Structure 1
Amino acid sequence: MSQVEVGKPVPDFTLPATGGVELRLSDLLGSQHLVLYFYPRDDTPGCTTEGRDFTEHYARLTEAGATVLGISRDGIRSHERFKDKYGFPFQLLSDEQETVCELFGVMKQKTMYGKPVRGIERSTFLVDRDGILRHEWRKVKVPGHVEQVLAALKTL
């Protein structure tokens, strides 16, 4: 599967999600835009801050016609604990096999404690109602990021 490109359709995918369901991209299209945010790990400081920012602005995001979904390589049980602990109003998807992470090109070599590790580069993607990738943010810095997503939503 090749990587996604802005202005082109996002290939269909299915991932397990919190709440004991599987979500298929094609089932979500039509009535809402999708905000897909990829984050490195559940319940870590930066990922918690990012999830809380999306939660804080959740009403504005949904009013702008978007569904928010968080994606990481953590398993569903970890996602359920993370979601419950912070009261996230959106679903978290598990990509333990890294297939969707690879599709979106978010798997990168990083350095942790001086050692190379492979992990998710914090990234967000805005997919319109028709399944076309409209915006991407890579190497996301959390402060102010959700406002950038909201501004992009208003252009759709």
Structure 2
Amino acid sequence: MALKVGDKVPVFESKDTKGAHFDSQEIIGKKPAVIYFYPKDNTSICTAQACSFRDQYQDFKDLGAEVIGVSNDSVASHQEFAKEHALPFILLSDENKKIKTLFGIPPALFGLLPGRVTYVVDKNGIIVLIFNSMLGGKHISEALIALKKIVS
């Protein structure tokens, strides 16, 4: 069942870009966060989306929020992707699709690709926005608008 606005983000764990253990409880419930699910490293829309989050990362940090990208790609793929595009935020590997399943991410494009969904979470770990669109660039502006509403 898919998470909805008002739900608490479930606890999840993964490996980050450095191959280190990531526990969501270290961030979720302590400060605002943007968790964005995307289909695949190094594809045109996903790269543009990641670079847009990179270019506006300081705006997210200024609002006290952390950005977390999640895809089914391996840690090695994330390492190359993050290095090539100088991504300053956390990328998580969800090769077993456990995080995607916890969130209830719907497939896109006739079930062939994982969906592209962004969650904005307040400092208590409650979802305040779910934005589901294959248009990668729109996710950044929608997330910033939602964060500005909850931190002001």
Tell me if TM exceeds 0.5: yes
Q: CA deviation at 1:20?
A: 2.2
Q: Tell me which residue corresponds to 1:92.
A: 91
Q: CA deviation at 1:48?
A: 0.3
Q: Tell me which residue corresponds to 1:42.
A: 41
Given that 2:118 and 2:139 are in contact with CA atoms closer than 8 Å, whether structure 1 keeps it comes out as: no
- What is the aligned-residue identity percentage? 33
- Select which of 112, 122, 127 maps to 2:121: 127
Q: CA deviation at 1:25?
A: 1.3
| CA distance in 1 between partners of 2:27 and 2:66 (Å) | 8
Q: Tell me which residue corresponds to 2:136.
A: 142
Q: Give the RMSD, CA atoms, in angstroms.
A: 1.5
Given that 2:37 and 2:115 are in contact with CA atoms closer than 8 Å, whether structure 1 keeps it comes out as: yes
Gaps of 5+ in 2: none
| CA distance in 1 between partners of 2:117 and 2:2 (Å) | 14
Return the TM-score normalized by structure 2: 0.91
Return the TM-score normalized by structure 1: 0.89
Residues 65-110 of structure 1 show CA distances to partners (whole Å, capped at 9, x for unaligned) of 1100110000000000000000000111000111111122224152
| CA distance in 1 between partners of 2:72 and 2:94 (Å) | 5
AA aligned to 1:139 is: S
Given that 2:34 and 2:65 are in contact with CA atoms closer than 8 Å, whether structure 1 keeps it comes out as: yes
Q: Which has the larger radius of gyration?
A: 1
**Matched length:** 150
1:103 equivalent in alignment to 2:97 = no
Residues 39-75 of structure 1 show CA distances to partners (whole Å, capped at 9, x for unaligned) of 1000110000000000010000110111001100000
Q: Tell me which residue corresponds to 1:12.
A: 11
Gaps of 5+ in 1: none
Given that 1:37 and 1:70 are in contact with CA atoms closer than 8 Å, whether structure 2 keeps it comes out as: yes
Given that 2:72 and 2:96 are in contact with CA atoms closer than 8 Å, whether structure 1 keeps it comes out as: yes
| CA distance in 2 between partners of 1:41 and 1:29 (Å) | 24
Q: CA deviation at 1:134?
A: 1.1
Q: Tell me which residue corresponds to 1:155.
A: 149
> Which one has the bigger helix percentage?
2
AA aligned to 2:22 is: L
| CA distance in 2 between partners of 1:18 and 1:106 (Å) | 21
CA 1:48–1:66 in 2, change beyond 3 Å: closer, same or farther?
same
Q: CA deviation at 1:145?
A: 2.8
Q: Tell me which residue corresponds to 2:55.
A: 56
CA 1:44–1:109 in 2, change beyond 3 Å: closer, same or farther?
closer
Partner-residue secondary structure (3-state), 1:20: coil
